[in-house]
Structure 1
Amino acid sequence: MDASSPPTIDIEALGFDRGAHLLVKRALSRIPPGATLRVRACAPGFQAHLAAWCRAQGHRLAEVTDNRADIVRGGYQTGRWQGAERCGKADPGEPEAVAERAESRWGLAARGATVEAGGPEWHFPLDRKAEVWAEEAAELYRQALAAQWDPETAVDWNAPFELPDEVEDAVVQVMTYLIENENAALLIPARFLGRIHPHYREIMQLLAIQVADEARHVEVFTRRARLKRREPALSTAGGQSSLKTLFDAPDFSIASFLLSVLGEGTFVNLLHFLHAHAPDPVTAQIARLAARDEARHVAFGMAHLLQRLRREPELRSRLANAVELRYDSLAASAGLNEEVYDALVLLAAGAWSPAAIARGFEAVQTLQREMAEGRRLRLQKLGFEENQARRLASLHTRNFM
């Protein structure tokens, strides 16, 4: 064969209705656009099938005979891929470039994929990187995966213990309180999860595992509440009103601020308190495990807000307003219910003597001061001046979350 003759493949009697196009596609992929491939075949109807396939794929038939065809390979974005678009407009040097805004026409495609034109439009309200992004998200997701725990095996539910009735009742009341707060901490990220464009997959994945964390917390707190009792304890109107203000926050960053930075940050203190003063091994175990998860949630909220505030420092005033508006809306509510507060005092006291109750009461007062100080420090890290950070920390809901 002459050296100038095009490369040739022989598909023999294999028809295009039986997979011959795979052999042709493979051969075309090995020559540059504009080059010619010669195809030999003896299948009935070969010419018509090949012509239809070439039109759909954007290739040109240069010559056709009864048992041979010359195909000129089309270039990128020919045929059905005319007008196709790369998600994120990635380049070879940055294969997964994250776009500042994710286009609705990219839909559910993987970041960096080539998306055929003509697909459906998807509406994802959170389609801007600045609205949701945190550079630390991928690492936090890896940490979260490695730290997942199974309630069935991580907690020794059969550990032997017997508590006085009043102490068991106190544990059940605290567990009841934790359950409703963790329901809120589950539903809030879940509400935003379906609004985030999948282009920002690290955030989507991290929120999904955060929802799984909270589902696990609800399970273990419920199991502990029912371990020695048939039913949970009391849920107050004030506590639910406080949580509803979190659920109603319309903005992702503000919700992250109120829930993760202030609420869950405060809850980490509470869980450490419960671990330290737990009257039984099961309560101690679940408090320790839940605190570890909650610390990651706080870390993501802080990372997201620090990144957004670097670009939009004016967001800081909106965050402060959100705290003040929430405080005003809850001013007439009871806040933390008396039963939960008294239960915490009793757990810290460990006994009913006046001296023990005094110690328990002081321990809860110390807890509240530590909560406020932690909030202040996180607010200052977000760039609030010390006096403003202290004042905003003091306005946080009395329901802790």
Structure 2
Amino acid sequence: MATEARPEKYITTFQQLMEEGRKNGYRLDWLLPRETFGARLDSTPEAGGLLLQDIDRGPFAEIPDWSDNMTGRPRGSLTRANAARVGNYSVRTKADIWLKNASQLYEEAVQRQWSSAVDVPWETMEELPDDIERAECQLATFLTEVEFVAGDVPGKWISETTPDYYEPRMFLISQIMDEARHMDVFRKRAFANGGGLMSQTTNVALSGGAIDSARDFTEMSARLHISGEGLVLSIFRMGERMSYNEAEKAIYRLAASDESRHVAFGVMHLQYLSQTDPKRKEEIHSYLDEIEMGLVAGTGGQNPAQRGTPSNAALAILLGGGSDPASMMEGEQIALAVRQRQVKEYVQRVKVAGLGERFENGRANATLAAYVSA
């Protein structure tokens, strides 16, 4: 962005202040100007305002490959010898959490916040057939549960990440806000039309436990962003097909916008890691091996299309238009197409992440090919 020189009078005043301090024995070394002093950023609303990526200049843009910052010192600020340790940060290697567009994803998250109270046209909801309403409530119950997991897991890694990698850390904070809003809106949907919460899905808690026990950030991101949230995003993108009013359409559209950022975060992190630390690709492939076993089996607690679950039955009713045998059969066929779409979109994410060789060298689960070609 364009910069504007600082007026000469400010420089003169600063020099006078420093001279006065020296004469009187004051320590004013903390007042010494940094490399960016003397110029200011010129931002306009038309250009998107002042963004994080605009202010990273000079030493403030230097991101260490490894960080020894345990004091909470903002990246680029000057160290203080007597600063106390305030964190026991385990994420101190850049490749373990970094991605190239974290600032942009964070800024997008901030600018696209929405409110379930006023941005969803609840007044468009009308009484639905009993089986449809029960299915809506069951799916909303499942999604409330899933979004709790998606908001709970990243919190652990926020406190584990050094301030030198503040961009991905801030994005994760924005993700938690997004997931809280999703919990909020799906819980409201369960009650808004005269229904309520239905059955808990046991596998959601088990899946959340598996993600939460990830040994490092990359494993967590592969399981949460690439797999779990990717599967849910595919469902949200089908929202128009299984909505019965404008309120439900708005819910799925807004939630999909948020979810796509979370998935992009995971894809771009794996892409950065595979490019900068290729020796870890085998480790990532091992995570994907486990993920794909769940995909082809139609299992995985974060997947609403998981076979043999209340959420999958609810999807079949909503997609087919009822619970009578003919409607259920039609709905189950559409639900199968949803699972096929989930697999195809998963394959595309893995390819963008730079790990697509698994689909060419036979590493990927063989059953995936049937889904991809369908």
TM-score with structure 1 length normalisation?
Answer: 0.72
- Stretches of structure 2 lacking an aligned partner (at least 5 in a row): 1-12, 34-55, 370-374
Q: CA deviation at 1:230?
A: 5.6
Instruction: Between 115-124 and 136-145, report the one with greater CA deviation.
Output: 115-124
What is the SS of the residue equivalent to 2:124?
A: coil
- Greater share of helix: 2
- 1:391 aligned to 362, 365, 368, which one? 365
The AA in structure 2 aligned to 1:195 is E
The AA in structure 1 aligned to 2:319 is A
Decide whether the 8 Å contact of 2:131 with 2:323 is kept in 1.
no
Decide whether the 8 Å contact of 1:320 with 1:392 is kept in 2.
no
Change (3 A) 1:37 1:161: closer
Instruction: Between 173-182 and 375-384, report the one with greater CA deviation.
Output: 375-384
- 1:108 aligned to 65, 72, 81, which one? 72
1:358 counterpart = 2:323: no
1:163 counterpart = 2:134: no
Higher RCO (CA < 8 A, seq sep 6+): 2
Q: Which residue of structure 1 lines up, in the alignment, with residue 159 of structure 2?
A: 194
- 1:293 aligned to 246, 258, 261, which one? 258
The AA in structure 1 aligned to 2:314 is A
How many pairs does the alignment contain?
Answer: 324
Decide whether the 8 Å contact of 1:375 with 1:393 is kept in 2.
no
Q: How does 1:231-310 map to 2 (within 5 A)?
A: 231-310=196-275
Decide whether the 8 Å contact of 1:323 with 1:392 is kept in 2.
no
What is the SS of the residue equivalent to 2:278?
A: coil
Q: CA deviation at 1:192?
A: 0.6
Decide whether the 8 Å contact of 2:144 with 2:183 is kept in 1.
yes
CA displacement 1:342-370 (0-9 Å, x = unmatched): 11011011135554333212111100001
1:204 counterpart = 2:169: yes
Q: 2: distance between equivalents of 1:26 and 1:315? A: 52
The AA in structure 2 aligned to 1:384 is G
The AA in structure 2 aligned to 1:108 is G
Decide whether the 8 Å contact of 1:155 with 1:286 is kept in 2.
yes
Q: 2: distance between equivalents of 1:241 and 1:92? A: 44
Q: How does 1:294-373 map to 2 (within 5 A)?
A: 294-325=259-290, 336=306, 337-352=308-323, 354-373=325-344
Q: 2: distance between equivalents of 1:309 and 1:283? A: 38
Q: 2: distance between equivalents of 1:327 and 1:181? A: 19
Q: CA deviation at 1:384?
A: 3.1
Q: How does 1:63-142 map to 2 (within 5 A)?
A: 93-105=58-70, 107-121=71-85, 122-142=87-107
Change (3 A) 1:146 1:262: same
Q: CA deviation at 1:27?
A: 2.7
Q: CA deviation at 1:208?
A: 0.6
Q: Which residue of structure 2 lines up, in the alignment, with residue 225 of structure 1?
A: 190
Q: Which residue of structure 1 lines up, in the alignment, with residue 346 of structure 2?
A: 375
Decide whether the 8 Å contact of 1:157 with 1:282 is kept in 2.
yes
Q: 2: distance between equivalents of 1:100 and 1:301? A: 19
Instruction: Between 272-281 and 380-389, report the one with greater CA deviation.
Output: 380-389
CA displacement 1:126-176 (0-9 Å, x = unmatched): 112111111101111111111111111111122241101111000010011
What is the SS of the residue equivalent to 2:192?
A: coil
Decide whether the 8 Å contact of 1:27 with 1:37 is kept in 2.
no
- Stretches of structure 1 lacking an aligned partner (at least 5 in a row): 1-23, 39-49, 60-74, 77-90, 396-401
Change (3 A) 1:95 1:259: closer
Q: Which residue of structure 2 lines up, in the alignment, with residue 82 of structure 1?
A: none
Change (3 A) 1:92 1:299: closer
Q: CA deviation at 1:249?
A: 1.0
Q: 2: distance between equivalents of 1:377 and 1:215? A: 28
Decide whether the 8 Å contact of 2:142 with 2:201 is kept in 1.
no
Q: 2: distance between equivalents of 1:216 and 1:294? A: 11
What is the SS of the residue equivalent to 2:238?
A: helix
What is the SS of the residue equivalent to 1:133?
A: coil
The AA in structure 1 aligned to 2:270 is L
Instruction: Calculate the aligned-residue CA RMSD, in Å.
Output: 3.2
What is the SS of the residue equivalent to 2:63?
A: coil
Change (3 A) 1:93 1:214: closer
Change (3 A) 1:92 1:391: closer
Q: Which residue of structure 2 lines up, in the alignment, with residue 65 of structure 1?
A: none
What is the SS of the residue equivalent to 1:114?
A: coil
Change (3 A) 1:168 1:379: same
Q: How does 1:24-39 map to 2 (within 5 A)?
A: 27=16, 29=18
The AA in structure 1 aligned to 2:343 is A
